């Protein structure tokens, strides 16, 4: 028989669904920057194209030609390949991250990690190995040590320096071990002479400690109250010979609140609450996860279990288990701090356990805040706390959402890990939600932007490095594409504006519309795309994250676009004027010579592009600091570009299509020098920037 107690949004799943629906999906910093940059670019290009069209009409260019030239200018200035380049760079970053156990579900997340300023991580399994082993037990007022590691049931119980058998005169210890064995959903399996567990590692550790005492027989389970992070305990009702028994395990504080007595020397006596809590704190301060265990005999006729039955329990003992930090997590925390990223631990463990593990990992902050304290805080109080505290313990999943929101309110870019259904709202609200691939639920994975295949914190830091690499390559592509596009636009506009002064420009533009379109196409395919394959720069994790407020069209962008545009347009003007001016020196215009001069101008623009690509491989470092052979895709792109453009200049069937004409070979003596303006002007700008930075 089933009893309906709630429907729809009033159910636990309904509440989560409602919270998910009310949680706003965060737009990534990259998408916000691209949107703002696109708006700026469209307005600027449309304004330039309009000015160009009006100027050409005023200077008596044919109307159709003026329209085509203005459209070509707009096409030349707009980096139409940028969306494809962006998608390709993010896809390559996603592939690289997948090789390092970080699976990207939403492409923009591949770059977002590169700007993350805070990583809110679970402890168990992510920062620690999730291989629990019981090493300390407190029962009947006595302390016991347990030897052995892992899930092999080999080990001894040591009391006052001597090995003992729990079955001999240690009923409290035996009762504690048996209760942990009975109130348990895990199981031990042996395969190929190796013992492993099926189920939760914490429960597996309790099974192993019981197995070391020879306990292997489970009594029949009649009912249970499964573990919930909010209630912090699990209880079962098991059958016995003369009476049935309730067994419970959970956080020591929670279990003690349900107890009124304690088992000592096999007899029920007064509960030593302060002594038990002091022992739990002592274990937790040694980075042990501590579970309190209790029981209660009930009539043989009782076959169901409810929370009302969990009163008047007899406390049995504590089991303290160690879950050592991952060695790679310690290094990853160090790397993240060096990279300007603050690691924050959010766990359901005891406050002292969390603090001890945090110290071992190198996570620092002002103490620890518990879920109970957090629940009493207002949002404003939590806002003042999140920047100072890096360890949150005994928290419920909904607290993770509040912590995330207040960190974002602080202006932090948050990466948040989670594995449970209740973690889904926090994963959705985070700038990048990270689900666990091994222990994560399908709901958490659906809500996340990234899934960790190995549930390892170190994989997050590795992904941060790949995210920063993705941004570096995207920045290089933008800072290469826009200056070259700007140069073509300036070449066309400059010729139009100079037409009243320079007769040559009133007869013919330095580049035909189809030539502008062609330059844009080959440049995007053969020169810009290879920039995506630039190898990873050194020291990516040695710099602080970029500011989320930093715009793509920043000061460097305008300087680089201005310098290269002027260099390219100036080179094109000089070549076109130098070779084309003799065409109008007499009464009859030499149309062939004008076409040859246009072709030479086209080749000069191509040469400026080629020269510029070699310095564009690094945003700040000189081209002389790295080998040209570290990215062979660039060399292939340059080679293909030269071959195709030589074909356009010298093959008759391409001449008619691109409105070009073969020009004398000696012209190349001047055109070769077109390799240097774009290269040298950027190298000089980098040098000046470095010297100013030093000063």
Residues belonging to the active site? 122
Mapped onto helix, strand or coil, the DSSP state of residue 378 is: coil
The alpha carbon of residue 689 and the mean position of all alpha carbons in its chain are separated, in whole angstroms, by 31
Secondary structure (DSSP) of 175-194: HHHHHHHHS---EEEEETTE
The alpha carbon of residue 59 and the mean position of all alpha carbons in its chain are separated, in whole angstroms, by 54
Contacts of 261 (CB under 8 A, 6+ apart): 268, 269, 270, 271, 312, 313, 314, 315
Give Cα separations from 453 to 99, 396, 418, 445, 504 (angstroms).
Answer: 10, 24, 13, 11, 65
Give Cα separations from 233 to 11, 56, 225, 351, 369 (angstroms).
Answer: 21, 80, 8, 17, 21
Mapped onto helix, strand or coil, the DSSP state of residue 544 is: coil
Q: Cα separation of 240 and 217, whole Å?
A: 12
Write down the H helix ranges in 542-621.
Answer: 555-580, 591-615
Contact by Cβ (8 Å): 284, 292: no
Contact by Cβ (8 Å): 568, 613: no
Residue 345 has φ and ψ, to the nearest 5°, of -95, 125
First vs last Cα of the chain: how many Å apart?
Answer: 80
Q: Cα separation of 490 and 226, whole Å?
A: 71
Contact by Cβ (8 Å): 415, 118: yes
Mapped onto helix, strand or coil, the DSSP state of residue 339 is: coil
Radius of gyration of the chain (CA): 35
- 3-class SS shares of the chain: helix, strand, coil, % to 5: 55, 15, 30
Beta bridge partners of 198: 187
Place of tokens 């590169």: 114
Element (DSSP H or E) covering residue 499: none
Secondary structure (DSSP) of 120-176: EE-STTTTB----EEEEEEETTEEEEE---TT-----EEETTEEE-TTTT-HHHHHH
Tokens found for residue 655 = 């001449």
Is residue 311 classed exposed, middle or buried when 0-12, 13-18 and 19+ CB atoms within 10 A define those classes? exposed
Q: Cα separation of 406 and 423, whole Å?
A: 16
């Amino acid at each position: 028989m089933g009893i309906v107690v709630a429907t729809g949004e009033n159910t636990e799943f309904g509440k989560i669904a409602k919270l998910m629906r009310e949680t706003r999906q965060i737009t990534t910093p990259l998408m916000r920057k691209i949107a703002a940059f696109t708006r700026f670019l469209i307005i600027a290009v449309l304004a330039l194209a309009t000015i160009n069209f009006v100027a050409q009409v005023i200077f008596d260019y044919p109307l159709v030609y003026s329209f085509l030239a203005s459209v070509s200018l707009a096409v030349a200035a707009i980096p139409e390949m940028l969306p494809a380049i962006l998608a390709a760079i993010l896809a390559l970053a996603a592939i690289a991250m997948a090789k390092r156990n970080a699976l990207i579900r939403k492409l923009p997340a591949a770059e977002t990690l590169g700007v993350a300023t805070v990583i809110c991580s679970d402890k168990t399994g992510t920062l620690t190995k999730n291989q629990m082993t019981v090493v300390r037990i407190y029962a009947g007022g006595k302390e016991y040590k347990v030897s052995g590691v892992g899930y092999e049931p080999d080990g001894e119980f040591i009391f006052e320096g001597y090995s003992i058998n729990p079955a001999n005169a240690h009923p409290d210890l035996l009762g504690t071990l048996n209760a942990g064995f009975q109130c348990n959903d895990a199981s031990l399996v042996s395969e190929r002479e190796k013992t492993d567990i099926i189920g939760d590692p914490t429960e597996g550790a309790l099974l192993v400690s019981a197995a070391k005492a020879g306990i292997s027989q489970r009594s029949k389970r009649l009912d249970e109250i499964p573990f919930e992070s909010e209630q912090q305990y699990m209880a079962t009702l098991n059958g016995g010979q003369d009476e049935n028994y309730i067994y419970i395990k959970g956080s020591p504080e929670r279990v003690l609140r349900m107890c009124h007595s304690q088992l000592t020397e096999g007899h029920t006596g007064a509960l030593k609450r302060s002594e038990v809590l002091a022992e739990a704190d002592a274990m937790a301060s040694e980075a042990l996860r501590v579970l309190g265990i209790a029981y209660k005999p009930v009539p043989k006729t009782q076959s169901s279990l409810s929370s009302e039955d969990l009163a008047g329990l007899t406390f049995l003992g504590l089991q303290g288990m160690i879950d050592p930090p991952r060695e790679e997590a310690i290094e990853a925390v160090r790397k993240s701090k060096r990279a300007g990223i603050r690691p924050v631990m959010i766990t359901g463990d005891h406050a002292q356990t969390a603090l001890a593990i945090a110290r071992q990992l190198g996570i620092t902050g002002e103490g620890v805040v518990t879920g109970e304290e957090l629940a009493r805080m207002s949002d404003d109080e939590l806002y003042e706390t999140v920047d100072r505290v890096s360890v949150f313990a005994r928290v419920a999943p909904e607290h993770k959402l509040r912590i995330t929101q207040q960190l974002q309110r602080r202006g932090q870019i948050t990466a948040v890990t989670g594995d449970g259904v209740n973690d889904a709202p926090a994963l959705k609200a985070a700038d990048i939600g990270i689900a666990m691939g091994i222990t994560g639920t399908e709901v958490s994975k659906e809500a996340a932007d990234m899934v960790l295949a190995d549930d390892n914190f170190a994989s997050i830091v590795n992904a941060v490095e790949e995210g920063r690499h993705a941004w570096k390559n995207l920045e290089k592509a933008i800072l290469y594409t826009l200056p070259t596009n700007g140069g073509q636009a300036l070449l066309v506009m400059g010729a139009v504006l100079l037409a009243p002064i320079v007769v040559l420009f009133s007869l013919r533009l330095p580049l035909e519309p189809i030539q502008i379109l062609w330059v844009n196409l080959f440049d995007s395919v053969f020169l810009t795309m290879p920039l995506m394959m630039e190898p990873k720069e050194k020291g990516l994790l040695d710099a602080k994250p970029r500011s989320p407020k930093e715009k793509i069209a920043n000061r460097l962008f305008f300087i680089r676009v201005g310098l290269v545009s002027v260099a390219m347009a100036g080179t094109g003007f000089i070549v076109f004027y130098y070779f084309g001016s003799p065409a109008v020196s007499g009464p009859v215009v030499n149309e062939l010579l004008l076409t040859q001069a246009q072709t030479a101008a086209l080749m000069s623009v191509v040469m400026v592009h080629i020269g510029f690509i070699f310095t564009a491989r690094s945003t700040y470092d000189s081209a002389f600091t790295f080998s040209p052979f570290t990215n062979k895709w660039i060399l292939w792109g340059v080679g293909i570009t030269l071959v195709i453009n030589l074909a356009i200049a010298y093959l008759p069937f391409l001449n008619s299509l691109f409105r070009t004409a073969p020009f004398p070979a000696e012209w190349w003596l001047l055109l070769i020098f077109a390799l240097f303006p774009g290269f040298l002007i950027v190298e000089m700008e980098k040098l000046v920037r470095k010297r100013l930075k030093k000063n």
